[in-house]
Structure 1
C-alpha cells in the first residue's frame, strides 16, 4: 500500500495557540507557514503549507481578533491542551455522489455543509464538506469539494513534501471498512489513536506524531 492516501486533500493540525504552533513549525522545519484566512463566526483562522501532490497541511486555532463563537470552535480546538493532528480530508469533485456512494457501502459521512473563508488578499473561497466529527476517532477522513474555488495548494504556498502518513488505533479492522467505503486507504497499525506523518524540509525529515513535532 502507498503511504500517501488516494485523494488526500489536507491534514488538520489543531492547536489552542496558533501563533505558538506556527512559530514551532517554523523553528523545526525552516519553513514559514502562509497565512490562510479567517473562518468568520467560527472563531478560528489558519496557516497553510503545501504537501505536494495537491495536498496541504492546515494549522488551525483560535482567532484572537474574533469574539468567542456561539458554539464550540471547529476540530475540538477549545478542548486541546496542545497541538494535535486531529483529522484529515479527501477531496472529491462531486460531493453529493461521493456521500451517496459511501452510504451505499455502509458508512454515512453526514450531509454536505457549505463553508467559506476570505484569504489575506481578499479572495473569498467557498467549499462544501462533510462533518469532520462524523467518526469520533479522527482517523476517518471527512470529504471536501472545492467547487470553482482555487485549491489552497495551488496558491503559491511554501512546500514541505509529505513523505509518509500512517495512523494507530486499538482496532484497525474497524476503521478499514470505513476507509474502503470512502474509496481511500491509510496505513493502520495497532496502538493508541493517533496520526503520524513525515515531511521533507530544508532541515531534513521532520515527523509529526499524535500530539507534536518530533525530530
Structure 2
C-alpha cells in the first residue's frame, strides 16, 4: 500500500468566488472541470505538477439536490461564506486497506464519476471533513491518465502543504498507517485554535501561499 498527495480542495459558495480566491493568491486562472451528478457539485481546476492539482468545488445550482449530504462540507456554506482551502486528498493504490488503517475516521469507500473519469473515494456519511479537513480524504483512480495530466500547465507547482492542528500526533499516526509519503508537514496548535492549511506553491510570479499569508 502506497499513499501520496493527490490534490488540494478549495470550497466556496460559487465557482467565481472560489476561483477569485485562488487567483488573488497565486496570480493564475483556473480551467473548467466538470460536474459530479451524484453529489450535485461542479469544479474548476489548476495543475500543480505531475499527478497533482488544485480543485475549486462548489454546489452546482443547476443540479438536482442529492439524496445524501454533499461532500467536503458544502451543505454548511451559505451565500456569503468565504472561499477557503478546506482540505486535501491523498491518492492510494489500496483504498480499502488505507481506509481500514484510519479506523473509520475518513468515512466509507464510495464510487464516483465525472465525465469519463471514475474513481473510489472515502466519504463520511454526514458530508463532514475528516478531522476538520486536516486528515486527508482518500482516493483511488481507475486505470488511465491522471486528471492532472489532462490540465494545462500554467507554471504552478506545489512545494509543501502545512497542516495546523491541535492533535498533530493523531494525524501523523494516520499517515504512517496508510504508508503516506509526500510534502505534508504537521504543526501543533494550542486549543481551542481552529485547524487550518497553508499551501506553498511556486508560480510564474514567485513563491506564493494559499491562502495569502498574513504572518
TM range (shorter): 0.7 to 0.9
CA shift for structure 1 position 99: 3.4
Whether 1:129 aligns to 2:121 is yes
Gaps of at least 5 residues in structure 1 are 1-5, 119-123
Matches within 5 A, 1:38-117: 38-80=35-77, 81-100=81-100, 102=101, 109-117=106-114
Is 1:18 matched with 2:20? no
Matched residues in 1 for 2:108 and 2:70: separation? 19
RMSD: 2.3
Unmatched tracts of structure 2, length 5 or more: none
Structure 1 contact 37–45 (Cα < 8 Å) conserved: yes
The structure where strand makes up a greater share of residues is 2
Q: TM-score, normalised by structure 2?
A: 0.81
Q: Which residue of 1 aligns with 2:187?
A: 189
Secondary structure of the structure 2 residue equivalent to 1:206: strand
* Change beyond 3 A, Cα 1:155–1:78: same
Q: Is the 8 A contact 1:99 1:110 kept in 2?
A: yes
Q: Identify which range, 85-94 or 44-53, moves more after superposition.
A: 85-94
Separation of aligned partners in 2, 1:158 and 1:73: 30
Question: What is the CA–CA distance in structure 2 between the aligned matches of 1:164 and 1:91, rounded to whole Å?
Answer: 16
Q: SS at 1:7's partner residue?
A: strand
CA distance in 1, matches of 2:5, 2:130: 17
Q: Is the 8 A contact 2:118 2:142 kept in 1?
A: yes
